[in-house]
Structure 1
Amino acid sequence: MKIKKSLIEKYNNRENLIVISSYPRKGELYSGNVGGIASFAKNTVMNMDQQVVVIAESFGRKGYYEEGKSLVIRAFERNRFAMWLQILAILWQFRKTRKVLFQFDFALYGDMVVSALALPFLFTVRILGFDVSIVVHSIVTDVFNLTGHLGLNTGLMGRIKGHILNAVFRLFYRLLGFAVEKVIVNDESLKRKLSSYISEEKIAAIPHGTDISLGPVRKKRARKILGYGEDEQVVLYFGFVNWFKGADLFVSSFAKITKLAGKKVRFIMAGGESATLSQKSHYRTYFVNLYHQIEQSENIELTGFVPQSKLALYFSAADLVVFPYRALIGASGALSLAFSYKKPFILSERLAPMLRSVDCRAAMKRNGLTEADFTFHLSNQACVEKTRLVLLNGAKQKLSRLAGQLRRERNWQYTSRMFTRLIYAADAQTVEVPIGQKKAYSFAESEKSV
């Protein structure tokens, strides 16, 4: 695809940045069928000071357009071997723009084989003289913690396949460390995990941003629009319906619960099919089975994908957001949205390491909270009991304040500046963090105190 000469002249310079990612549609921040990484990328780009060239998925229609301070080039179709050559062709047209930020997840660009080709692609980009930083959105080092998510069976062949996949993932991370200049993750616990395979000096943790532009509506009005009662408890699961996020655990925990904390209760699953797994046979089986269970429950509602225009309604109507995740493989965009709307939340103990970052621990201390106040063991009984206790004992107010403080301290304006400083800095370890500190903050030092 040839880009108009005037646009190349405008964006092809050393001060600008190239971002490679899935990306929401024009005029949207939270589009359907593209996944959370697309919204992450756009929120980051929109809050950067410099001009950005975005090389993105085409959705079947190649082309380009300007949006804000960015040039969005719809250049590739995911899950095709040729996509990497298509991206290289665009990169070469902007070869004076040396800095590249590559968003990566194994399901983002296609199946395992297509995704693995990201490695030779990144080595090629480096040989061409580009300086690449990569955001690794999920860290998988043991697939046996994700059997249901990946469709691995528990028999002999499943175990053999699992050990092979573990070796492949670990080798991938080791080679990745040589292919790029900087590796970025969204949580300090993920940095510690990845440092077993990549030099710690090369890795930085930048928290997942929060959207301070998202404003709630009055709870009474939101419930009226959605048809919920004013006096009932509303408990929310938000995000794509999949195994590692514990969608089935949410259903099995609450399917027969009609009252909590002395009130009638309604459970909302605000999400739809996974954008990256929907064509996998094991996922189709999982989703259909779960859908039938929801149909048989009188108090659980599955909304399907929630468009951007209705985000505020569901979060504003909710009393509590539940995150029954089975594994911590990446930062949760849904949790960041809960922060953005200042909603009380509880989460499984598998996500507890995310609460041990410096800013989160400080905010918890200010609000008189401990991990035990809002985390639960991964079981139906523990999930129900923690939900009941938080709704009953007044912890909701403390958790709402905690969410609001993290919303302010991790907003996209701050985190985007952190990306900019890191990408253009010689030292990958020192990045200013948005917790009210005036001096630069070393993530390596913070982790020693955790």
Structure 2
Amino acid sequence: MHLALVTTYPPSQGTLVEYGAHLARVFVAKPEIERLTVLADCLPKEMAAPPDPPNVRRVWTFGSPLNSLRLARTIQQLRPDGVIYNLQFASFGGSAVPAALGLLAPGMTRALGIPTITLLHNLFETIDLRQAGYAQSPFKEQVLRAGGRLFTRLLLQSHLVATTMPTYVEILRREYGAKNVFLAPHGAFEDPGPPPPLPEAKRVLAFGKFGTYKRLETLLEAHQLLLKRDPAVELVVAGTNSPNAPGYLEGLRAVYGDIPGVIYTGYVPEEEVAKVFSEAYVVAFPYTATTGSSGVLHQAGQYARPAVMPRIGDLAELVEAEGYRAEFFSPGDAKGLAEALWRLFSDREYAQQIGLANYRASVGVLLEDVADWYLLHFERLRRKYAH
């Protein structure tokens, strides 16, 4: 089988890049896959990057209105046996027009007669658009929600749509009458082996792309409060600006740069991710909103790390549905966040219990097993639509 995977791909700093890289890795290892072609996003010209693997073709550009046409043309030339899209609503652009036009691609692929599955990581119905930084006024929010419904319907033109959370399947079936959706768990990226012990250092990790709904002001203020209790507490900010919030981290450092014990790592290459999580005592989620199933929470669980988070949106759903545990705080409450972190720092046994619960929740299903589900669905589609 020749499979094409449309995704962001390292060293791109776009959304879902880690998931896309691991999805490509597990597909390549499957004996059913004779050939995998990754149709990836183009890198900025100024980015110094090693050569891509020979099966990676960079054919689309974040923010371009022409992505669906470029993808359709490339896929028509390749004629793969199946195409899987690894998407969220902002995958193709930070503004409405390129983001929306890019989402036409799965339907265009189906129109070419090629079995098409879209893995959709979020839904407009579950996103607080204003808190997430996509809408600054009620009018724009209404326009975006109307557009979101339209393009959800367009994505449902894929032969099949997979989502990572049961709630999403329910919404698509109830609100859109969709009969072509199925649940595909996020999956642990790899079998991590025995859960690593907590480090001695009191180190808080914030991981991701920051500036829209992942904001660090409250966490930095909480860090200042923790320093009064223990000057050795550290905060590691691992990641980059969100594509929708250029300059955010630079502005933050200009305001909070004099706070001691804060480390900004910048972009974390895939081979360094395990080290970053293993050296953390706790993973913090200073979110004001959620936009889908949290890959960072799954990674925290994979390394048996406790979590501190607000009880909002899809984070709360994950805790409820998949067995994760966390200490909670109210969004924007620096004192509450500091107290939640200190409860874990001051009770190592309790922190280990939460970390082990998250480990069990995370490694229950491996991504390599989830990939088998996709291949099974592709085989059914190939039989159903064989000419």
Please give the TM-score of this superposition, normalised by the length of structure 1: 0.72
Aligned identity (percent) is 21
In structure 1, the partner of 2:366 is 411
In structure 1, the partner of 2:146 is 167
1:338 and 1:344 in contact (8 A); partners too: yes
Q: CA deviation at 1:142?
A: 6.8
In structure 2, the partner of 1:310 is 272
- Computing the radius of gyration from Cα coordinates, the structure with the larger value is 1
Residue-by-residue CA offset, 1:246-294 (whole Å, 9 max, x unaligned): 423222332332155x7742222122212x2244xxxx3x544422333
Shift in CA distance, 255/305, structure 1 to aligned 2, threshold 3 Å: farther
2:15 and 2:91 in contact (8 A); partners too: no
2:8 and 2:15 in contact (8 A); partners too: no
Q: 1:209-358 to 2 correspondence within 5 Å?
A: 209-212=187-190, 232-259=201-228, 264-274=232-242, 276-279=243-246, 284=247, 286-350=248-312, 351-357=315-321
2:188 and 2:302 in contact (8 A); partners too: yes
Shift in CA distance, 263/218, structure 1 to aligned 2, threshold 3 Å: farther
Shift in CA distance, 169/269, structure 1 to aligned 2, threshold 3 Å: same
In structure 1, the partner of 2:343 is 389
Shift in CA distance, 424/293, structure 1 to aligned 2, threshold 3 Å: farther
The partner residue of 2:19 within 21, 35, 40 is: 40
Distance between the aligned counterparts of 2:289 and 2:245, measured in 1? 20
1:139 and 1:330 in contact (8 A); partners too: yes
Amino acid corresponding to residue 375 of structure 1 in structure 2: F
Q: How many residues are matched?
A: 367
Distance between the aligned counterparts of 2:15 and 2:365, measured in 1? 17
Shift in CA distance, 317/98, structure 1 to aligned 2, threshold 3 Å: closer
Secondary structure at the counterpart of residue 241 of structure 2: coil
Distance between the aligned counterparts of 2:353 and 2:104, measured in 1? 48
Gaps of at least 5 residues in structure 2 are 46-50, 382-387
Shift in CA distance, 263/389, structure 1 to aligned 2, threshold 3 Å: farther
Shift in CA distance, 305/201, structure 1 to aligned 2, threshold 3 Å: same
User: Is structure 2 residue 158 aligned with structure 1 residue 180?
Assistant: yes
Shift in CA distance, 398/159, structure 1 to aligned 2, threshold 3 Å: same
Amino acid corresponding to residue 329 of structure 1 in structure 2: T
Greater shift, 76-85 or 236-245, is seen at 76-85
Shift in CA distance, 256/397, structure 1 to aligned 2, threshold 3 Å: closer
Residue-by-residue CA offset, 1:55-106 (whole Å, 9 max, x unaligned): 1223268xx9755xxx3222233322333222222211232x3421112223
Amino acid corresponding to residue 163 of structure 1 in structure 2: Q
1:251 and 1:293 in contact (8 A); partners too: no
Please give the TM-score of this superposition, normalised by the length of structure 2: 0.83
Across the aligned residues of Structure 1 and Structure 2, the Cα RMSD in angstroms comes to: 3.0
Distance between the aligned counterparts of 2:44 and 2:118, measured in 1? 26
Distance between the aligned counterparts of 2:336 and 2:130, measured in 1? 22
In structure 1, the partner of 2:180 is 202
Residue-by-residue CA offset, 1:171-203 (whole Å, 9 max, x unaligned): 2213332x1111112222333344443335322
Q: 1:74-89 to 2 correspondence within 5 Å?
A: 74-89=58-73
1:19 and 1:54 in contact (8 A); partners too: yes
Distance between the aligned counterparts of 1:396 and 1:215, measured in 2? 20
In structure 1, the partner of 2:97 is 113
Secondary structure at the counterpart of residue 110 of structure 2: helix
Residue-by-residue CA offset, 1:388-427 (whole Å, 9 max, x unaligned): 222223221112212322343232212222222233346x
Shift in CA distance, 278/386, structure 1 to aligned 2, threshold 3 Å: closer
1:255 and 1:299 in contact (8 A); partners too: no
User: Is structure 2 residue 365 aligned with structure 1 residue 401?
Assistant: no
Gaps of at least 5 residues in structure 1 are 1-14, 25-30, 224-229, 365-370, 427-450
Amino acid corresponding to residue 117 of structure 2 in structure 1: S
Secondary structure at the counterpart of residue 182 of structure 2: strand
Shift in CA distance, 246/60, structure 1 to aligned 2, threshold 3 Å: closer
Q: CA deviation at 1:354?
A: 0.7
Shift in CA distance, 130/330, structure 1 to aligned 2, threshold 3 Å: same
In structure 1, the partner of 2:379 is 424
Distance between the aligned counterparts of 2:109 and 2:268, measured in 1? 37
Residue-by-residue CA offset, 1:139-169 (whole Å, 9 max, x unaligned): 22376x232543643xxxx222221112111
2:65 and 2:102 in contact (8 A); partners too: no
2:184 and 2:370 in contact (8 A); partners too: yes
Secondary structure at the counterpart of residue 245 of structure 1: coil
